[in-house]
Amino acid sequence: MKMKKERMITFLDAMIPIIMIFLVLEFPKPEHISLSTLLELRTDFFAYFVSFFWLGMMWVGSHERFENIDEIQDKTFWATIIMLFFTSLIP
């Protein structure tokens, strides 16, 4: 199976932001906003920060990888699908 790179890029452009949205949905909501409750969530903020920027770097890197490719081969397609599967599990 061969596909144009634009289809794979469009798929990545849809899936990575959806995974980023799930990061926010899993973020704990404080009962009230104060400095002490924000400090209690510092590890959650750090995990969100690291995951968000890791996903962003992966998204930019995938665009750079596909820059000089015209068609996507089977191996590249399935490697990308597997990468997205594990990416959705890790954050």
Q: Which of 13, 1, 7, 3 is nearest to 62 (CA)?
A: 13
Model pLDDT for residues 32-77, shown as the tens digit of each residue: 888 888 888 888 889 888 888 988 998 898 888 888 888 888 888 8
Beta-carbon neighbour count of residue 72 at 10 Å?
A: 20
Q: Where are the domains of the chain?
A: 3-27+42-89
Q: How confident is the model at residue 91 (pLDDT cuts 50, 70, 90)?
A: low
C-beta of residue 44 within 8 angstroms of C-beta of residue 28: yes
